[in-house]
Amino acid sequence: MSDPFPARRLADEPAEIQSGLFDIAPDWHDYWWGMPSFSMGDARPTKTIAVNFLTRADFIAFCDKLGIRLSDKSDTMWWPTQEPLSGEFEYDGPKVSTRYPVCIPSKGRADCQRTGRALDAMGVDYKFFVEETEYDAYCAALGEARVFRLPFYDLGLGSIPARNEIWEWAALHGHARHWVMDDNIVSFARCTMNRRLCVRSGMLFRAIEDFADRYENIAIAGPHHKGFVMDRDPSTTPVLWNSRVYSCMLIDTALGHRWRGRYNEDTDLCLRILKGGLCTALFRALLMDKGTTVGVRNAKPMPGGNHDSIYAEGDSRRAFAESLREQHPDIVEVVWKFNRWHHQVDYSAFRKNRPRLRPGVVPTRDENEYGLELRRA
């Protein structure tokens, strides 16, 4: 069977000898072949200082003195001011759909969902899976062809029943993989050349599908959140192996697992898969940008969804963390940081889960831009 991380680089340059696949991180060049070009330089600041203000008047005077504009929510700045390019440029390309179906569980957001709008701009087809009492409202907003009526309503279990119904639907229709996306994704992006720029093409998903299909044991793949990928650090790699994939997930339909619990269902599913020796691939080169959700600083949650039901109960942050620890006490701790409760997962046990290329798949030296072209937004 082909080795996805050959002993020599594709450019015929010597590679470091590795005692184990993830004992020393593999060179990303050895697996990022046939994918969109990826290059990250060192754009980190050489010096960082904290400036404290005793009063708001001092803060305003500081901004006036420097001739800069900062809001009350601003906590960082560059000097001299650096204009971001993320709003000026974007990647455009073919308006094509995915090979695998895109399924979006949704509740209470017929008039404010975001993911469908983002996918429309990319030419991607999709289907919303909604409870029977909301079917008519979603049909009026999206069209009947894009809505699937779930045979239940208000079960009090969050999105778990809908997600499992999606899984059974995908299996029934013979889909080898299926996408499950949250309904509050604002846009999708590409990270390269120290920039995270919006992508207006379904080719972003085709690249993820192609990558996952190279391997016989990648169970779940998907884009990372734009806000969690550092675009100035040269150590940023295009894929993070064997971690949590969440909110936008390409799932192997043949898996024997199903969704469970009430909280952290994405993390729980990934951990069960990793414990079974399979792999996950979280993409840093291809990203999503979600709307503000529960637990995010300065967030104003969208109406509907789980926020109005499951997440509205008591100290939800503590409940989230405790539920995952109960499911995986061997690798999960509950910690207090950033003024709230978090779960902390130790993924080191999965470093040696090795992705295996399918028979007949041969690495190449080629890049594939998937028709994506940089343009002014």
Residues 6+ apart with CB under 8 A from 178: 100, 101, 103, 166, 167, 170, 250, 251, 253
Q: Are 113 and 183 in contact (CB under 8 A)?
A: yes
% of the chain with per-residue pLDDT over 90: 71
Tell me how far apart the alpha carbons of residues 233 and 213 are, in angstroms, rounded to a whole number: 29
Which range, of 85-89, 275-279, 308-312, 347-351, averages the lowest pLDDT? Answer: 308-312
Say if domain 28-43+85-313+347-376 classifies as CATH 2.40.50: no
Domains of the chain: which residue ranges?
28-43+85-313+347-376
Provide the whole-model pTM.
0.86
Of 238-247, 279-288, 297-306, minimum mean pLDDT range: 297-306
Tokens of 274: 């990793």
Cβ–Cβ < 8 Å for 293, 301: yes
Counted residue by residue, the chain has a size of: 377
Exposure string over 190-228, b if 16+ CB within 10 A, otherwise e? bbbbbbbbbbbbbbbbbbbbebbbbbebbbbbbbbbbee
Per-residue pLDDT tens over the stretch 35-84: 999 999 888 888 999 999 999 999 999 999 998 888 888 888 888 887 76
How far is Cα 181 from Cα 104, in angstroms, rounded to an integer? 5
Q: How many CB atoms lie within 10 A of CB 9?
A: 15
